[in-house]
């Protein structure tokens, strides 16, 4: 009897926080793989949704508690992390020390894999720098091919808890090592793929570099609600896990204050009390705050709105400049018109969809000017909603996943031949 092909996914987040991972698990199951997952419980509202996703996907998931629920592992990892963080600079080229200094979840994931009984996996896939050392260890232990997903440009992320240059050096070392051993690399957009290829001297012509956008399955987006009425308030929508600072909301709200009679803003996400008291509560006349909802519900709800907001601030860090927000794909696939800040990532995507949105600067004044343009053109924006919806279907994950499917099949075939 032929043994079923197996994929092991490693993440230091959970499924609720990683819709990209959920899509890949579903694809693996569709093409006949058995799926195992190592993920983390974060001790917040995402844990419940993560558990539901694990149950619905019917996968075996080893859940690691990021906080004190498993006190022994948490305590040992915390102490080890602090010791290594203090001493790392004396051995900066050591891969294990760099990983464990970078994030204690790397230690916790490594320990969990070390405790797992040896078995055969065809492919093991890691998803961020924190998973790299455990990924390399697991590939040796379980005799598997390595895949690595570069959803973000991790050396370019802002770091406040430690020396930023030290952390950048550690992440660069880890990524350099995993790139050497990976059978394929996937990227969430052209700007990140180009940046990584340049920084790490990877030929972009290599067939094992996959550009996999953060788009979504087409069946998550029902036909949009349309209207020709231009007199009603213009409905804006924004969503994220947390409603907090440095997401572009401060600049948006400042821009909206003098236009509040024309716009209504709906925000989906977890209320962060300090931000709510400063920015949301004083402006409830034109802002509605909704609790977090599942991805399926959110994507269904988007069809009710006029304008989707993807307001990344490039000043936050280099990754924000390069990344293409999940939000933007969701708005495009919903048929919404988007208001998008002028980051490299957003401009790269929107140059292919010039009639689907407006790109603006990142100051309140520039956003205010863009809102005025939206007000002037709202009748046409509403009229063309269905046409935008149909045009954006080509972005759907259904159409973008074939390259990943193909490379998984090739890797598994090679494994069978080598057995």
Quickly state the pLDDT bin for 163 (edges 50, 70, 90). confident
With vertex at residue 164, the alpha carbon angle to CA 161 and CA 166, rounded to the nearest 5 degrees, is: 110
Q: What value does the CA radius of gyration of the chain take, rounded to a whole number of Å?
A: 22
Long-range contacts of range 413-419, CB-CB < 8 Å, 24 or more positions apart? 414/145, 415/122, 415/145
User: Is 418 a residue whose pLDDT tops 70?
Assistant: no
User: Taking residues 107-126, what's their average pLDDT?
Assistant: 93
Distance CA 304, CA 31 (A): 35
Place of tokens 């709800």: 301
Distance CA 297, CA 16 (A): 13
Per-residue pLDDT tens for 270-306?
A: 999 999 999 999 999 999 999 999 899 999 999 999 9
C-alpha separations of 90 from 93, 94, 99, 293 in Å: 9, 10, 15, 46
Per-residue pLDDT tens for 302-350?
A: 999 999 999 988 777 899 899 999 999 999 999 999 999 999 999 999 9
Distance CA 42, CA 386 (A): 39
With vertex at residue 78, the alpha carbon angle to CA 72 and CA 79, rounded to the nearest 5 degrees, is: 95
pTM over the 0.85 mark? yes
Per-residue pLDDT tens for 255-272?
A: 999 999 999 999 999 999
Quickly state the pLDDT bin for 392 (edges 50, 70, 90). very high
Residues paired with 7 in a beta bridge: 35, 123
Helices (H), 227-280: 249-256, 273-275
Q: 269-295 burial, b for 16+ CB within 10 Å, e for fewer? A: bebeeebeeebbeeeeebbebeebeeb
pLDDT at 206: 62
Distance CA 208, CA 186 (A): 8
3-state helix, strand, coil in the chain (%, to 5): 55, 15, 30
Per-residue pLDDT tens for 194-250?
A: 999 999 988 755 668 999 999 999 999 999 987 766 668 999 999 998 999 988 999
Phi/psi region, residue 151 (left: phi>0; alpha: psi -120 to 50; beta: rest), is alpha
Task: Report whether 108 contacts 74 (CB < 8 A).
Answer: yes
Per-residue pLDDT tens for 22-81?
A: 999 999 999 999 999 999 999 888 899 999 999 999 999 999 999 988 888 889 899 999
Distance CA 21, CA 215 (A): 12
Quickly state the pLDDT bin for 415 (edges 50, 70, 90). low
Task: Report whether 153 contacts 147 (CB < 8 A).
Answer: no
Residue 14 in tokens: 């959970």
CB atoms under 10 Å from CB of 227, counted, come to: 11
pLDDT at 79: 95
pLDDT at 51: 94
Q: Is 165 exposed, middle or buried (0-12, 13-18, 19+ CB in 10 A)?
A: exposed
Place of tokens 């700007």: 191
Phi/psi region, residue 33 (left: phi>0; alpha: psi -120 to 50; beta: rest), is beta
Distance CA 225, CA 306 (A): 9
Residues paired with 308 in a beta bridge: 237, 338
User: Is 21 a residue whose pLDDT tops 80?
Assistant: yes
Residue 41 in tokens: 């419980």
For the chain, which domains are there?
Answer: 6-212+401-418 (3.40.50.2000), 218-397 (3.40.50.2000)
φ/ψ of residue 157, rounded to 5 = -80, 145
CB atoms under 10 Å from CB of 414, counted, come to: 13
pLDDT at 66: 92
pLDDT at 111: 93
φ/ψ of residue 132, rounded to 5 = -65, -50
The helix/strand/coil state of 108 is helix
Quickly state the pLDDT bin for 1 (edges 50, 70, 90). very low
Distance CA 10, CA 38 (A): 5
Residue 401's nearest CA partner among 219, 215, 150, 204 is: 215
């Amino acid at each position: 009897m032929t043994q079923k092909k197996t994929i092991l996914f490693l993440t230091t987040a959970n499924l609720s926080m990683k819709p990209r991972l959920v899509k890949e698990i579903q694809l693996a199951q569709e093409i006949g793989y058995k799926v195992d997952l190592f993920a983390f419980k974060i001790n917040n509202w995402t844990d419940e949704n993560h558990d539901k996703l694990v149950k619905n996907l019917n996968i075996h998931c080893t859940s690691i508690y990021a906080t004190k629920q498993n006190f022994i592992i948490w305590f040992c990892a915390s102490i080890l992390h602090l010791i290594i963080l203090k001493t790392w600079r004396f051995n900066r080229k050591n891969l294990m020390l760099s990983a464990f200094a970078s994030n204690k979840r790397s230690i916790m994931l490594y320990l969990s894999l070390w405790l797992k009984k040896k078995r055969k996996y065809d492919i093991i896939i890691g998803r961020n720098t924190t998973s790299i050392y455990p990924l390399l260890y697991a590939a040796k232990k379980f005799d598997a091919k390595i895949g690595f997903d570069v959803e973000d440009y991790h050396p370019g992320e802002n770091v406040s808890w430690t020396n930023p240059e030290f952390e950048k050096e550690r992440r660069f070392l880890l990524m350099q090592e995993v790139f050497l051993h990976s059978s394929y690399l996937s990227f969430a957009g052209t700007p990140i793929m180009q940046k990584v290829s340049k920084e790490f001297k990877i030929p972009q012509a290599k067939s094992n570099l996959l550009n996999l956008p953060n788009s979504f399955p087409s069946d998550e987006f029902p036909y949009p609600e349309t209207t020709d009425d231009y007199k009603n308030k213009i409905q804006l929508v924004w969503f994220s896990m947390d409603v907090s600072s440095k997401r572009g909301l401060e600049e948006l709200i400042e821009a909206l204050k003098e236009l509040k009679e024309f716009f209504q803003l709906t925000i989906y996400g977890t209320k962060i009390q300090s931000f709510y008291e400063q920015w949301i509560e004083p402006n409830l006349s034109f802002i509605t705050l909704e609790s977090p909802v599942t991805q399926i519900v959110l994507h269904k709800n988007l069809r009710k709105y006029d304008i989707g907001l993807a307001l990344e601030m490039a000043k936050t860090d280099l990754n924000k400049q390069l990344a293409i927000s999940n939000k933007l794909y969701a708005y495009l696939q919903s048929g919404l018109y988007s208001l998008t800040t002028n980051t490299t990532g957003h401009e790269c995507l929107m140059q292919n969809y010039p009639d689907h949105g407006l790109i603006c600067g990142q100051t309140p004044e520039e956003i205010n000017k863009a809102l005025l343009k939206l007000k002037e053109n709202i009748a046409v924006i509403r009229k063309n909603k269905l046409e935008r919806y149909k045009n954006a279907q080509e972005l759907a994950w259904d159409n973008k996943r074939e390259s990943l499917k193909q490379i998984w099949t090739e890797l598994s075939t090679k494994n069978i031949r080598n057995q």
